[in-house]
């Protein structure tokens, strides 16, 4: 080693004590040759080649000796560099005074760099826990939170700073047409002052500037308020909670309140909230694709205990000790280089932007023609009167006003209010849906949900309450109801003691539920609803006495898997043998059993008649809308760590019938879906008889509907699926892939707009594939929520219908606004163009058109885009994919309303003075004022008509509501 150190310092000019950054860089460059496998291979090949060419001077052995020396040099260099770096991690007085024994940066580096050597140097996970004053069973003390946050940081990432109001004002001023108008206004003011003096010469220019400023301020205020609303909704999206152990009790806290030393409980579907070290767990698989890009999950164990923030729990469960939070995590460092982008444009916004572009081009043509006509007429008149050789300042003012009028026509013609109306309507709907317990994560989900033709929904927790209780149990060939205390006592008395002990052992050992003590001393059962129901049943059945059979040790746990549809646990017994417990779907467990526990508590072979009776019991439970689970066990003398649980040779202990009542209002919600042309399909993992019973109770399964099991569905050919899928109403015993296949075929074969509900990690592919993914806010995992477009905060199916109602309201409201704005645009364009061609002047001035444009794009959008849904919206079929946004009925209304307004304004423009007997020098100004006021009142009437009626914008085969008839007939 002395020779190596001397060699290193001579060859790399390394200083004696503290190496410089340049020296370290050269070291890294030198040792990278042997760190990279490909470069090592090339180096060996080169040495071998040289040995062949220079065989006389050097042997192959000598070359490989040199290679070994290079490896030793590499190892020494790395150790020396690490040693030099470790000197940087000093314990400051703040850390020592707080009672901690490790530097925050060093602690973060251990996990972030997967530094197993440093971890061992600090005494492993146990040693780290002592240095940060945390214990595995009690966690940290809540009184230390502020101290830990001051030293080790808070669990937050830098956010993109909010845009100020003046930034929105600046954005609104960037509109090119407004800039041109400002230039025109300034020229008009200068020319006016020169020709007419102050203050009369300032009127036109100042009026245009004030109108522009008013338009800019209103637009900026609208955009600023909308940004505040989106920020509020974004904060709701980030509310994620995690289970931790603090002060010896399990608590549910926000991920932003996590501190170093917290003991975090991880389960399937959780997103890891901070960097940490694995303490203990079962079959923990972590998806690190968000960090490493590798799709293969990583198995976490005592030998590889590093868990990084931002990764996801794909399988298993575990306890983790937090070692880095916020910006000290690897995820935090990554986030510091990124900035969140805004919302993408929704499909409707993209479509309307195309419409706005076409209309803008038409407006540009009209504006150009209007300017040319006005200029030609002006030049002809000037040539006939005073001649083209004489020019005055008033002539320049006239030309500037002509140009301003032409530019204003473009301002009015370009419907920039369309995207604003869409955003305003979606933001309003999102805010209202938040009050209705639906958090919309993506803007496009609102408008898309209005077009949904199919909803593929879960059963448990969505259609049902998700508050499960054991209603019936079959054990020792006896079936009993266990809803009351008396029946529990009766069951306790008739079950043989050994059978009771076996049942309780199976309940309490083979479970993911956990009995925890709250701060107030009360005990609470945590876990999935199914696990809680069985665990609470076990507690009641156990009564006041302690079950000595529960004193056994878990050796191996296989958590519940949606593919296997069962969970298993291996326990060691006091006599030195082992026992497998398996619990899961009834038909899966019964197939694994060839024995059963009889009335005397003995394990006896299961005859065919007994198997038939068991299957009949399962079906009878399922027909009563009960979810069925079976519990079985198997004695073994030994086990293999690497193998899975056995799949045969089990002894059946009991069958549980678990009741989950249908939510109030679900039947009415399903009925509303059917009247709206939305087909509801139940996709569940339950027994088909249970699924059919619930589906009939909810009104989903009708006489012409089909109930099918997942295995049957998977076996169908594409041609058979094409005939089968339209009639499927219930799919039972389905795998996640079945739901994904159903959604894919509905979208691909039948071009349906599909909404999917889900709560588990396994639902993520279907949620992502669907047009609208709806994740459950209570039962849903973080992976499911991240894949969804909408989070249903109360897990209620009725909330999903509210999302559809608001989606339709958004679509119809935007149609109403488009109809209103296109009518205004057509009338303004035609009236100014025709007047310019015939009279040589435009009756609607730049200031007037800017004022109309401001009212139309802001207040008009506010009035039409924020109408709440009504019952009539849910009595028409959904808008199918690819259907034209502007319907034939809308075109009919636009053309009809435009003709009516043009007739009224044309009569005033060409015959107003005679009809109204207006005379005098200012008669032209009076008529133009009257035309403008009439134009505004026509738009107000059109706005009221659009606000009051919604059915008139739908396609012609939809019936017109009585509400529309009442207003439009008057």
Residues carrying an active site annotation: 458
- The residue among 684, 707, 393 whose CA lies nearest residue 530 is 684
What is the Cα–Cα distance from 241 to 721, expressed in whole angstroms?
A: 41
3-state secondary structure of 968: helix
3-state secondary structure of 871: helix
What is the Cα–Cα distance from 779 to 714, expressed in whole angstroms?
A: 27
As to burial, measured by CB atoms within 10 angstroms (0-12 exposed, 13-18 middle, 19+ buried), residue 319 is buried
Asked whether 278 and 307 are in contact (CB, 8 A), the reply is yes
Asked whether 583 and 654 are in contact (CB, 8 A), the reply is no
Tally Cβ neighbours within 10 Å of residue 120.
Answer: 10
What is the Cα–Cα distance from 947 to 940, expressed in whole angstroms?
A: 10
Tally Cβ neighbours within 10 Å of residue 748.
Answer: 9
Asked whether 958 and 820 are in contact (CB, 8 A), the reply is no
Contacts for 697-702: CB closer than 8 Å, 24+ residues apart: 697/625, 697/662, 697/667, 698/463, 698/662, 698/666, 698/667, 698/670, 699/667, 699/670, 699/671, 699/674, 700/463, 700/670, 700/729, 700/730, 701/729, 701/730, 702/729
Give the distance from CA 416 to its chain's centroid.
29
Asked whether 628 and 622 are in contact (CB, 8 A), the reply is yes
Asked whether 57 and 70 are in contact (CB, 8 A), the reply is no
What is the Cα–Cα distance from 506 to 495, expressed in whole angstroms?
A: 15
- The residue among 645, 654, 650 whose CA lies nearest residue 591 is 650
- The residue among 513, 508, 653, 506 whose CA lies nearest residue 589 is 653
What is the Cα–Cα distance from 175 to 272, expressed in whole angstroms?
A: 45
What is the Cα–Cα distance from 96 to 101, expressed in whole angstroms?
A: 7
Residues β-bridged to residue 709: 732
Dihedral of CA 228/233/234/239: which sign? Answer: positive
What is the Cα–Cα distance from 235 to 231, expressed in whole angstroms?
A: 6
Backbone φ and ψ for 683, nearest 5 degrees, come out as: -120, 115
What is the Cα–Cα distance from 375 to 399, expressed in whole angstroms?
A: 7
- String of DSSP letters for 255-267: GGG--TT-EEEE-
What is the Cα–Cα distance from 782 to 768, expressed in whole angstroms?
A: 14
The structure tokens listed for 719 are 């041609």
- The residue among 858, 771, 900, 923 whose CA lies nearest residue 347 is 771
- String of DSSP letters for 472-508: EEEETTEEEE-SSHHHHHHHHHHS-HHHHHHHHHHHH
What is the Cα–Cα distance from 835 to 257, expressed in whole angstroms?
A: 68
Rg (C-alpha) for the chain, rounded Å, is 38
Q: Which residues contact 48 (CB under 8 A, 6 or more apart)?
A: 60, 63
Instruction: Using DSSP bridges, classify how beta strands 578-585 and 566-572 pair: parallel, antiparallel or unpaired.
Output: antiparallel
């Amino acid at each position: 080693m002395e020779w190596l150190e001397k060699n290193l310092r001579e060859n790399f000019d390394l200083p004696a004590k503290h190496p410089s950054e340049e020296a370290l860089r050269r070291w890294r460059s030198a040792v990278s040759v042997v760190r990279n496998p490909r470069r090592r291979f090339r180096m060996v090949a080169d040495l071998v080649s040289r040995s062949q060419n220079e065989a006389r001077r050097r042997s192959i052995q000598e070359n490989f000796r040199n290679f070994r020396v290079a490896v030793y040099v590499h190892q020494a260099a790395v150790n020396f560099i690490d040693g030099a770096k470790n000197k940087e991690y000093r314990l400051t007085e703040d850390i020592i005074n707080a009672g901690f024994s490790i530097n925050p940066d060093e602690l973060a580096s251990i996990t972030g760099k997967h530094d197993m050597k440093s971890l061992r140097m600090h005494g492993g996970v146990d040693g780290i826990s002592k240095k940060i004053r945390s214990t595995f069973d009690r966690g940290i003390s809540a009184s230390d939170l502020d101290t830990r946050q001051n030293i080790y940081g808070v669990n937050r990432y830098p956010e993109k700073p909010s845009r100020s109001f003046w930034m929105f004002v600046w954005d609104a001023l960037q509109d090119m047409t407004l800039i041109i108008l400002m230039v025109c206004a300034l020229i008009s003011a200068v020319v006016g002052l020169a020709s007419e003096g102050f203050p009369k010469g300032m009127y036109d220019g100042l009026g245009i500037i004030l109108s522009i400023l008013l338009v800019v301020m209103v637009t900026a205020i609208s955009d600023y308020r909308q940004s505040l609303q989106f920020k509020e909704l974004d904060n709701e999206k980030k509310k994620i909670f995690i289970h931790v152990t603090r002060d010896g009790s399990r608590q549910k806290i926000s991920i932003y309140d996590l501190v170093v030393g917290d003991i975090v409980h991880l389960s399937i579907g959780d997103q890891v909230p901070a960097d940490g070290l694995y303490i203990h767990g079962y079959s923990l698989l972590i998806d690190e694709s968000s960090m490493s890009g590798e799709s293969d999950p990583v198995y976490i164990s005592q030998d590889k205990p590093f868990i990084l923030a931002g990764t996801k729990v794909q399988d298993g469960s575990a306890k983790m000790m937090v070692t880095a939070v916020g910006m000290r995590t690897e995820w935090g460092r990554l986030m510091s280089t990124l900035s969140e982008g805004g919302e993408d444009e929704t499909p409707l916004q993209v479509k309307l932007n195309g419409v706005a572009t076409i209309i803008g081009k038409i407006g540009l043509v009209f504006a150009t023609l209007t300017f040319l006509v006005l200029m030609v007429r002006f030049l002809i008149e000037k040539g006939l009167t005073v001649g083209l050789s004489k020019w005055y300042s008033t002539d320049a003012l006239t030309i500037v006003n002509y140009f301003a009028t032409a530019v204003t026509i473009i301002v009015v013609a370009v419907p920039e209010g369309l995207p604003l109306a869409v955003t305003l309507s979606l933001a309003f709907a999102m805010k209202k849906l938040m009050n209705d317990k639906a958090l919309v994560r993506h803007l496009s989900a609102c408008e898309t949900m209005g077009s949904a033709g199919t909803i593929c929904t879960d059963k448990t927790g969505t259609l049902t309450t998700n508050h499960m209780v054991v209603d019936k149990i079959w054990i020792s060939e006896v079936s009993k109801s266990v809803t009351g205390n008396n029946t529990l006592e009766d069951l306790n008395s008739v079950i043989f003691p050994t059978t009771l002990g076996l049942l309780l052992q199976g309940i309490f050992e083979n479970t993911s539920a956990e009995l925890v003590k709250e701060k107030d001393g009360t005990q609470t059962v945590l876990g999935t609803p199914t696990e809680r129901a069985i665990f609470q049943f076990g507690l009641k059945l156990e009564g006041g006495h302690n079950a000595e059979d529960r004193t056994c040790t878990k050796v191996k746990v296989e958590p519940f898997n949606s593919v296997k549809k069962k969970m298993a646990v291996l326990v060691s017994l006091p006599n030195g043998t082992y026992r497998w417990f398996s619990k899961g779907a009834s038909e899966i467990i019964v197939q694994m059993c060839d024995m059963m526990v009889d009335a005397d508590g003995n394990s006896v072979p299961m005859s065919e008649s007994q198997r038939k009776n068991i299957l009949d019991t399962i079906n009878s439970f399922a027909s009563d809308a009960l979810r069925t689970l079976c519990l079985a066990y198997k004695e073994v003398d030994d086990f293999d760590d690497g193998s899975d649980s056995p799949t045969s040779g089990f002894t059946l202990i009991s069958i549980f019938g678990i009741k989950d009542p249908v939510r109030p209002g679900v039947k009415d919600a399903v009925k509303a879906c059917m009247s709206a042309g939305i087909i509801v399909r139940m996709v569940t993992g339950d027994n088909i008889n249970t699924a059919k019973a619930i589906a009939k109770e909810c009104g989903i399964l009708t006489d012409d509907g089909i109930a099918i099991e997942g295995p049957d569905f998977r076996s169908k050919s594409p041609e058979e699926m094409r005939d089968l899928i339209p009639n499927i109403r219930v799919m039972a015993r389905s795998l996640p892939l079945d739901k994904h296949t159903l959604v894919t075929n509905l979208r691909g074969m039948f071009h349906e707009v599909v909404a999917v509900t889900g709560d588990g990690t396994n639902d993520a592919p279907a949620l992502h594939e669907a047009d609208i993914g709806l994740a459950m806010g209570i039962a849903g995992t973080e992976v499911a929520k991240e894949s969804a477009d909408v989070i249903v905060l109360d897990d209620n199916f009725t909330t999903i219908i509210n999302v559809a109602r608001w989606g339709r309201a958004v679509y119809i409201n935007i149609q109403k606004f488009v109809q209103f704005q296109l009518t205004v645009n057509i009338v303004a364009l035609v009236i100014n163009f025709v007047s310019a061609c015939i009279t040589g002047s435009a009756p609607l001035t730049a200031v007037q058109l800017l004022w109309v444009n401001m009212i139309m794009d802001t207040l008009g959008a506010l009035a039409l885009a924020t109408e709440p849904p009504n019952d009539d919206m849910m009595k028409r079929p959904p808008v199918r994919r690819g259907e034209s946004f502007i319907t034939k009925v809308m075109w009919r209304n636009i053309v009809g309303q435009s003709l009516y307004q043009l007739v009224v304004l044309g009569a005033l423009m060409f015959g107003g003075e005679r009809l109204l007997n207006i005379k005098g020098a200012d008669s032209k100004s009076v008529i133009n004022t009257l035309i403008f006021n009439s134009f505004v009142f026509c738009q107000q009437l059109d706005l009221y008509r659009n606000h009051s009626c919604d059915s008139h914008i739908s396609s012609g085969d939809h019936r017109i509501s009585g509400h529309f008839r009442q207003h439009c007939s008057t």
